[in-house]
Amino acid sequence: MGRLMRQHWLPACTIEEVAEPDGAPVRSRLLGVDLVVFRDSEGRIGVLNERCPHRGASLVYGRNEDCGLRCLYHGWKFGVDGTIQEMASEPPDSRMYNLKARAYPAREAGGFVWVWLGEPDAVRPFETPAWAPTPDTRISIVKIHAECNWAQVLEGSIDSAHSSSLHSTNMPTAQVEGSTATDTAWLRPSNDKAPRLEVEATDYGFHYAALRRPLRDPETHVYVRTTVFIAPFTVLIPPNDQYKLAQMLVPIDDVNCMFYWIAWHETKGIGQDAWRRFCAAEVGKDLDSDFRKRRNLANDYLQDRAKMKAGDFTGIEGIPFQDMAMWESMGPIADRSEDHLGASDAAIVQFRRQMVAAAKAVAAGEPALGTRSASRQVDLASFEGVVPRTSDWRGFTARSASAAAAAE
């Protein structure tokens, strides 16, 4: 699976974390590789191995100055391309100047710094992510560290059935036309907790629909929520009337991952601060500076049983933290031989079969899933709405068709 991941561009951190030239370097870890990300004096992004090639000290503690990152230990200084610019501890004619720090290709797009960890001579052209169709798209990002394997987190993102129970306090039923955003909740036009799922494989991954009985006109209409899985770890989840939603479930190593939840819209959207408040995921309040949770498995996510008795379904504050309680309580890597899957798990079955097959294909020398897709990410879309039963949901995962269906 690591070989598969290395054929895709990976998000190392948010642009917000390295916004200032000569600002503090940022630690990142992807696929078990320790990295340091920094922006130099001229605004260029560098992504290097965290360990100095001299004696292995961490460059995260380095001085970011004069277009380079200087190791504190002996003063060696590196440019964004890994070139050694200065070596205070060595003579001017030292052969050590032939060394370089390991530098990785990097790009900035959609609120993220992306890095290529694959073969240096096989860098894929960078593709704009689905949530950045225009330069002016409003993008807000929640970032949370999860102490478990990335796949069990992603299986939560593609599980439309769980939201009707786990998130029922935050996503209550109401007489609305479609999913409607308020300051504290998303109102949904169905109380059907057992959706019928239909799944279709694609060359970028798969898409599927959760079909529910709507409150209004259930004999002639259906409440549709489509979800799009873009290999290897991106999910476009059903939007509401104010913003669209995407998630990335990025492997840090086998037993840790980074959860990114992106709210975006070409014209509407939600502000960064408001998005983090809604998710109860504010750094300094709900999260530490390294995005680790203050409500976590060790303190039972500060679950409030009194609130549960008063009507709150979970007693856990924040939609992401409700999810985290489920994902992390499975253990660092869940034993899936113990699962008993039902009709509502059709997308989970598709994900497991497809990704195992994709990993085997890469091991056999074939291209990674999603690297030869005929569809651009910015042309894909998730969808939610009440539509006539005669409608074909498959057409709603194209951005133009999704917009047209929502307008009807």
CA distances (Å), 217 to each of 144, 221, 345, 387, 392, in order?
A: 40, 6, 27, 10, 18
Per-residue pLDDT of the chain (408 residues; tens, 9 = 90+): 999 999 999 999 999 999 999 999 999 999 999 999 999 999 999 999 999 999 999 999 999 999 999 999 999 999 999 999 999 899 988 888 889 999 999 999 999 999 999 999 999 999 999 999 999 999 999 999 999 999 999 999 999 999 999 999 999 999 998 999 999 999 999 999 999 999 999 999 999 999 999 999 999 999 999 999 999 999 999 999 999 999 999 999 999 999 999 999 999 999 999 999 999 999 999 999 999 999 999 999 999 999 999 999 999 999 999 999 999 999 999 999 999 999 999 999 999 999 999 999 999 999 999 999 999 999 999 999 999 999 999 988 776 555 555 555
Same domain, 244 and 379: yes
Three-state secondary structure call for residue 286: coil
Asked, for residue 250, whether it belongs to a domain, the answer is yes
Same domain, 187 and 70: no
Tokens describing residue 131:
């949530």
Same domain, 233 and 276: yes
Phi, psi of 385, rounded to the nearest 5 degrees: 165, 165
Q: What does pTM read for this prediction?
A: 0.95
Cα separation of 354 and 205, whole Å? Answer: 8
DSSP character string of 230-259:
ETTTEEEE---SS-EEEEEEEEEETTEEEE
CATH code of residue 44? 2.102.10.10
Same domain, 254 and 346: yes
Cβ partners under 8 Å of residue 10, min gap 6: 30, 31, 114, 115, 116, 117, 250
Q: Around Cβ 190, how many Cβ atoms within 10 Å?
A: 22
Cα separation of 386 and 309, whole Å? Answer: 33
What is the domain range of residue 22?
Answer: 2-122
Asked, for residue 131, whether it belongs to a domain, the answer is no
Instruction: Report the number of distinct structural domains present in the chain.
Output: 2
